């Protein structure tokens, strides 16, 4: 396995940040779950609502990508680092799918994505510094909360918006698998105050990204 210097790691993470926020993320090249579905007939109000919800989900994936990169940077065990990097690649698929859907709906990405990325990267790095079992536990709790969030958005999306629904359904499946894998790898359950703080931070991001 190649050994990276601190400068190498800095440049790799800078490249990843630029790709996530401004460029084209590197995914797994899976076909999009909505690629073969026809564009549904939506009213202007429904189109606006779908675009806003998909913008929130795109920002959530920006945060997830930053969390994974921060955790991978500070992970102690190579197998934990590899797990983070593999999960991050799937999160990039989600980024690509969400951005494509936002564009189809005539919406825009959140202007605050750079801030979401920076804050989430710092949180991920701190989780990694706390130790691999806590980092994996943080990952699992994050994904559990994302699954609950996606359930709420699936209920809010216009019923006929099959394309957005297909994307969120596949994202939900992936996130649930990431949580299970993290726990099986040794993730520890987080204390209640930390779980509540995570929910509060997620709510702030969700409500802000819906509007900006």
pLDDT at 4: 65
Q: What pLDDT tens digit does each residue of the chain (212 aa) get?
A: 566 676 766 677 677 777 777 777 777 778 899 999 999 999 999 999 999 999 999 999 898 888 888 877 776 666 666 766 777 778 889 999 999 999 999 999 999 999 999 988 888 888 888 888 888 888 889 889 999 999 999 999 999 999 999 999 999 999 998 888 888 888 888 889 989 998 998 899 999 999 99
pLDDT at 69: 80
Spatial separation of the C-alpha atoms in residues 59 and 147, rounded to whole Å: 15
Spatial separation of the C-alpha atoms in residues 134 and 64, rounded to whole Å: 16
Other beta carbons less than 10 A from residue 83's beta carbon: 23
pLDDT at 14: 74
Report CA-CA distances (Å) from 115 to 33, 40, 112, 163.
Answer: 29, 33, 5, 28
pLDDT at 136: 86
pLDDT at 154: 96
The whole model's pTM is what?
0.87
pLDDT at 44: 96
| Close Cβ partners of 187 (under 8 Å, ≥ 6 residues apart) | 133, 135, 136, 137, 138, 139, 140
Count Cα neighbours of 170 within 13 Å in the Cβ-side half-sphere: 19
pLDDT at 146: 92
User: Alpha helix (H) ranges present in 75-188?
Assistant: 78-104, 113-130, 132-156, 162-184
**φ, ψ of residue 164 in degrees (nearest 5):** -65, -40
Residues in the chain: 212
pLDDT at 1: 52
Report CA-CA distances (Å) from 146 to 11, 17, 139, 193, 209.
Answer: 29, 21, 10, 18, 15
C-alpha R_g of the chain: 17
pLDDT at 67: 85
The domain locations on the chain are: 6-21+42-211
What CATH architecture is 6-21+42-211?
Answer: Up-down Bundle (1.20)
């Amino acid at each position: 396995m190649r050994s990276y210097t601190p400068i190498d790691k800095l440049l790799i993470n800078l490249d990843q940040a630029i790709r996530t926020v401004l460029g084209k993320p590197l995914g797994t090249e899976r076909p999009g779950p909505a690629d073969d579905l026809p564009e549904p007939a939506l009213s202007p109000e429904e189109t606006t609502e779908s675009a806003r919800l998909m913008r929130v989900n795109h920002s959530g994936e920006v945060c997830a990508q930053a969390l994974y990169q921060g955790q991978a940077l500070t992970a102690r065990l190579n197998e934990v680092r590899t797990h983070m990097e593999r999960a991050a690649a799937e999160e990039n698929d989600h980024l690509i799918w969400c951005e494509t859907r936002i564009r189809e709906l005539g919406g825009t990405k959140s202007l605050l994505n750079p801030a979401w990325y920076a804050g989430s990267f710092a949180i991920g790095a701190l989780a990694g510094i706390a130790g691999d079992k806590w980092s994996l536990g943080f990952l699992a709790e994050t994904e559990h909360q994302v699954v609950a969030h996606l359930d709420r958005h699936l209920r809010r999306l216009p019923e006929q918006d099959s394309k957005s629904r297909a994307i969120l359904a596949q994202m939900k499946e992936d996130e649930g698998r990431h949580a299970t894998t993290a726990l099986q790898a040794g993730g520890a359950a987080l204390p209640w105050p930390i779980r509540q703080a995570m929910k509060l931070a997620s709510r702030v991001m969700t409500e802000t990204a819906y509007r900006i």
